[in-house]
Structure 1
Amino acid sequence: MRVTRRAGKVLGACAAAAVLALAAPGTAQAAQGVLFIDRAPHQDPSGCFPLGDFAPSEVANHTDGVAWVWSGPNCDGRVTQAILPGRIAIGHGMSLFIE
C-alpha cells in the first residue's frame, strides 16, 4: 500500500510539472537591430528569410543575434555558416534564420 501511494505521488508530481512546462508562455524575442540581406533592411528580424536564388547573398548582421545560414530553402537542410553580430558576410546557402 505504501509503495502504491508513493508511486501515485511521484506520478502526480511529474504530471503537474509537465502541465506547468507546457502552459508557460515562450520567451522568444526578435533580434534587436537591423539585418540587411542584399541591402534590404529588416528591423528587429525574427524567423526564416530566403536568400538569393542564383547567387550568394550579402548579409550584414547589425543585430544582437547570430544569423544562421541554411543549405536549403525554408531553413531546412544543414547550417552552412553563422554570421555573428556586427559582421558582414556572403551567405552561402538558400535561407537564413535569426531569433
Structure 2
Amino acid sequence: MRRVLTAFGTLAAAAMLSVSVTQSASAAQGDLVVNGTVYSDPSGCYPSDRWPLSVENYTNEPALIFGSADCSGPILGFVTPGSSQVSEFGGSVFIR
C-alpha cells in the first residue's frame, strides 16, 4: 500500500510540475505596440533603433524597457498591462 501511495504522489507531483512549466512558457496574450509596430501575443525581445522608444502594453503581462537593443543592460522602465510609457534612451522591450 505504501508503494502505491508513493507512486501516486510522485505522479501527482510530476503532473503539477508539467502544468506549471507549460503555463510559464506561454506568450503574453494581447498586443504590444513598440514605436507604432503592433506585435500580437508577443514573447521575447523586441529591439528598436528609434528614439524615444514608445511602448503601449495591451497584454496581460508586464513589459520591461532595456537600454540596449538586445534586452540586456539596465532596465529603464516597467510597463504594466494596460499602460504606456515613452523612454528617451530605451533600446528594446522584453515581454514574457
TM-score of the superposed pair, with normalisation by structure 1: 0.68
For the pair shown, the structure with the greater C-alpha radius of gyration is 1
AA at the equivalent of 2:90:
G
Query: 1:70 maps to what in 2?
Result: 66
Q: C-alpha separation between the residues in 2 aligned to 1:76 and 1:85?
A: 21
Query: 1:37 maps to what in 2?
Result: 34
Deviations 1:27-69 (A, max 9, x none): 3111000001112110000000002x24112111000000100
TM-score of the superposed pair, with normalisation by structure 2: 0.70
Gapped regions of structure 2 (runs ≥ 5) = 1-13
Runs of 4 or more, structure 1, over 6 Å off, are none
Q: C-alpha separation between the residues in 2 aligned to 1:54 and 1:64?
A: 25
Q: C-alpha separation between the residues in 1 aligned to 2:34 and 2:81?
A: 14
Using the aligned pairs only, state the percent identity. 36
Gapped regions of structure 1 (runs ≥ 5) = 1-19
AA at the equivalent of 1:65:
E
